[in-house]
Structure 1
Amino acid sequence: MSFNPLEQRGIPLDRQVRNWRELNVQPIDPDRCDPYTRCRIIAMNGIEVEAILFSHQLARNTVDPEVKRHLAETRYIEAQQQKAVNWLLPGVSSVLETTIAYEQVAVDLTAWVARMEPDPYLQQAYQFGVLEDFDHLYRYANLYEMIEHRKAESIVDNLTEVMPGRPTKYHHRHPYDNVRDPYDKSGTNPLSKLHALTIMAAEQQTMNFYMNTGPTYMEPIARQLYQEIGLIEEEHVTHYESLVDPGETWWEQLVNHEYNECYLYYSFMEQESDPKVKAIWELHLNMELEHLHAACDLMRRHDGREPQEVLAPELPNVLTFEPNKQYLRELLDTQMDLTTLGAGYVREAHERFEKMQEQIHGGEEPPSERVMVQHDEMFGREYRVQSEGEHPDPAMREK
């Protein structure tokens, strides 16, 4: 059944503020929940954080006090939504367990978007990035077994494979080579805009999470691994945010953000298995419908355009968390040795890449390699004995 958020009304804005009792949501049980419920929570937290940060940036770039007041009102509601969503995560989970769930989000969300993306250039951007998050999951899995003596499979529930991707040490590129060409706002499919916003927000939240939680560990190898992968997440945010057309007006970006929130809350409501969490997705969707209508009014007033000119006439097929094992194995077979050059991709090392590798590694093995060595020393084996048909431990083409 089609769903057009522009034709739906939600909860009036003046009735959206919740009290402490309403915000005191019951967290999920990490031992009994669907892993993809946790993934949806992490993804929506990133979406809400992006909504808040974007609203702040817009407020800092307008002189109109009426606009500032409107943004402050909706932003407060977004902040309540973010708290309710993020507080669904259980306090009993360790930071490293949550980290592994973050990487499961990055892998299966980006893989799904890559499969559904209609633009070949944008699709390649997602395919390239997902092989790096795939390897980050593997490196953290090694650290998890070393520190907490548990397998990452207990968290991802074998929905996502835990095995090597493009080796993390090769993810360090010159910043010039992390900037992609943007889509053309006037000609791109509206779905592509939603994809770009979604993955950008998810990677931004991962970057923020690692930069803040990394130094909370005492173990030197943990602190170092978070530092290394945190730097790569910054590269990923640059990679994905550059896909968005910078020619979009502030008001165009605002309605895209609000429409995307409607899309994701609707998608997650449709597939959620936990009734208490599903009720939150439904509540927030009904809030976001009004946020979208308010943003549309601002666009009409300040851009002199109708939102229908830039938004899809109805929501696309629901964004789905689901296993992507075969798709990822195909990418491992065909795109393992890619790196970037300018706005494109190449299979051979180039001078700028090699110089960056020398500068960042300084002739030493980075934490992502040392965690493997230390794991082998501790357990006398690799993290996982591969079964027949699995992709072998990859090594990038000799540089």
Structure 2
Amino acid sequence: MTFNPLQERGIPLDKQVRNWSELNVTPIDPDHADPYTRCRIITMNGIETEAIFFNHHLARHCPDTETRQRLAHVRYMEAQQQRTVNWLLSGFNSVLETVLAYEQVATDLTSWVARMEPDPYLQQAYNFGVLEDFDHLYRYANLYEMIEHRRAEQVVDQLTEVMPGRPTYIQHRHPIDNVREHYDRQATAPISKLHALTIMAAEQQTMNFYMNVGPMYMEPIARQLYQEIGLVEEEHVTHYESLIDPGESWWEMLLNHEYNECYMYHSFMQTETDEKVKRVWELHLNMELEHLRIAAELFRRHDGRDPEEVCAPELPAPVTFEPNRAYIRELLATQIDVTTLGTGYVRDMHERFERWQREINGDGMIPSEQVITDNRHKSGEEYRLEIDGPHPVPSLRIDRTTRR
């Protein structure tokens, strides 16, 4: 059954405000909830946070008071939605358990998007990034075992494997090599725009989370690991945001943001297994339909175009959280030694990459490597969760002397 959000009417904006009791949602049970329910919550928190940030930036560049007031009204409703979504997470989870879930999101959401992406260049961007987030999950899982004495399968279940990806220490690249070519807004498929917005938002919230929680730890290795991986997430945000065509007007970008929110809430409403959470997705979808209507109205007024010129006439197939073990193993076997050069990808380590490696890894103490060494020493072996049998780590064609 097709669903065109541009033709649907949602809850009027004046009817969307909720009181404190309505906002005080009951969190999911961390011991019994589907791990992918937690992943959907984390994803939608990132989507809502990006929507709020974008709305603020748009308002700062808008000279018309009436329009800024309209944006402020929508933004307040988005802020209530973000609190509702994020507060579905349980306070019983430690920060590290939430971090493991963040990296599970990055692994399985990015893999799914890569599998569905019709543009080969954009698909390569997602394939490249997912091998790095996959390795972050492995590093954090070892930190979790070492300082909380628990194993990551209690968080990710048997859905996502935990083993080395592209080693984190070789993920540090010169900043200019993190900028990709953007898609062509006039030629690219509408689904590609939604994919880029979704993954950018997810990576952005991860970057922000690590920036803020990293210094709250007492353990030196934890502080150092958050710092290292947090800088890689900065690279990832640059990587993904550069895929979006900067030629889109502010009003076109607003329209795409609101359309994407409708798409994501509709997707998760179709796939959610927790009825209580599903009702939140349904309510928020009906709110977002009104936000999209307002964005379409502003787009017509300021850009003089019809929304149908840039948006899909119906929502694509729903975004789905599902295991991607075979897909990731194929990437591990074929793309682990890929790095970037300019806006492209290469397999041979080039001079700028090696120089940057010497700069950032120069003192020899690399947190992402040290955490594995420390956990082997403390636990007797490093932590892995290999569901489909052992997977040999492919050899990397990289001069290890760049670590010195």
Instruction: Specify the TM-score bucket, using the shorter chain as the normaliser.
Output: over 0.9
Q: Who is 2:141 aligned against?
A: 141
| Structure 2: distance between partners of 1:184 and 1:168 | 31
Spell out the pairing of 1:1-399 with structure 2 (5 A cutoff): 1-384=1-384, 389-399=389-399
**Letter of the aligned partner of 1:3 in structure 2?**
F
State the SS of the aligned residue for 2:291. helix
Asked if the contact 2:338/2:346 (under 8 Å) is kept, the reply is yes
8 Å Cα contact 1:96-1:144 kept in structure 2: yes
Q: 1:327 corresponds to which letter in structure 2?
A: Y
Structure 1: gaps spanning 5 or more residues? none
One-letter amino acid matched to 2:354 = E
Deviations 1:232-261 (A, max 9, x none): 000000000000000000000000000000
TM-score when normalising by structure 2: 0.97
Contact 1:138 1:164 in 2 (8 A): yes
Residue identity matched to 1:290: E
Q: Deviations over 1:359-387 (max 9, x none)?
A: 11114131000001100110222223868
Asked if the contact 2:81–2:284 (Cα under 8 Å) also holds between the matched residues in 1, the reply is yes
Letter in 2 for 1:256: N
Report deviation, 1:129: 0.1
Distance in 1 separating the partners of 2:30 and 2:166: 29
Distance 2:387 2:81 in 1: 43
CA distance in 1, matches of 2:206, 2:18: 27
Aligned equivalents of 2:264 and 2:53: distance in 1?
Answer: 18
Equivalent residues of 2:35, 2:156 under 8 A apart: yes
Asked if structure 2 preserves the Cα contact closer than 8 Å seen for 1:339 and 1:345, the reply is: yes
Cα deviations by residue, 1:260-282 (Å, 9 ceiling, x for unpaired):
00000000000111111000000
- 1:32 Cα deviation from its structure 2 partner: 0.1
**For the residues of structure 1 that align with 2:300 and 2:388, how far apart are their CA atoms?**
59
Matched residue type, 1:37: T
- RMSD of Structure 2 on Structure 1 (CA): 1.0
Shift of residue 49, structure 1, vs aligned partner:
0.2
Partner of 2:402: none
Q: Is the 8 Å Cα contact of residues 167 and 396 (structure 1) preserved in structure 2?
A: no
Are 1:167 and 1:394, in contact at CA under 8 Å, matched by a contact in 2? no
Distance in structure 1 (CA, Å) of the matches to 2:319 and 2:384:
31
Following TM superposition, by how much is the alpha carbon of 1:398 offset from its aligned partner in structure 2, in angstroms?
2.7
Residue identity matched to 2:151: K
Q: Distance in 1 between matches of 2:173 and 2:398?
A: 16
Offset at residue 63 of structure 1 (A)? 0.6
Check whether the contact 2:161–2:385 (CA below 8 A) recurs between aligned residues: no
Quickly say closer, same or farther: Cα 1:318–1:30, change in 2 above 3 A.
Answer: same
Assess if the C-alpha contact under 8 Å between 1:165 and 1:394 holds in 2.
no
Distance 1:90 1:395 in 2: 40
Q: Determine helix, strand or coil for the equivalent of 2:345.
A: strand
Secondary structure, aligned partner of 1:392:
coil
Mapped contact 2:161–2:387 kept (Cα < 8 A)? no
Q: Is the 1:332–1:391 Cα contact (8 Å) retained in structure 2? A: no
Partners of 1:27 and 1:389 in 2: CA distance: 35
User: Is the contact made by 2:13 and 2:290 (CA closer than 8 Å) also made in structure 1?
Assistant: yes
Provide the C-alpha distance between the structure 2 equivalents of 1:354 and 1:173, rounded to a whole number of angstroms: 9
In structure 2, relative to structure 1, the CA distance for the partners of 1:94 and 1:388 (3 Å cut) is closer
Change (3 A) 1:386 1:257: closer
Deviation at 1:392, TM superposition (A): 1.9
Q: Amino acid of the residue matched to residue 267 of structure 2? A: S
Cα shift at 1:142: 0.2
CA distance in 2: counterparts of 1:389 and 1:38, whole angstroms: 26
Between the aligned partners of 1:304 and 1:393, the Cα distance in structure 2 is 54
Report the CA distance shift for 1:72/1:385 in structure 2 as closer, same or farther (over 3 A): closer
Deviation of 1:390 (Å) = 2.8
User: SS of 1:101's equivalent?
Assistant: helix
Gaps of 5+ in 2: 400-404
Q: Which amino acid aligns with 1:62?
A: C
Tell me the TM-score normalized by structure 1: 0.99
Percent of aligned pairs with the same amino acid: 72
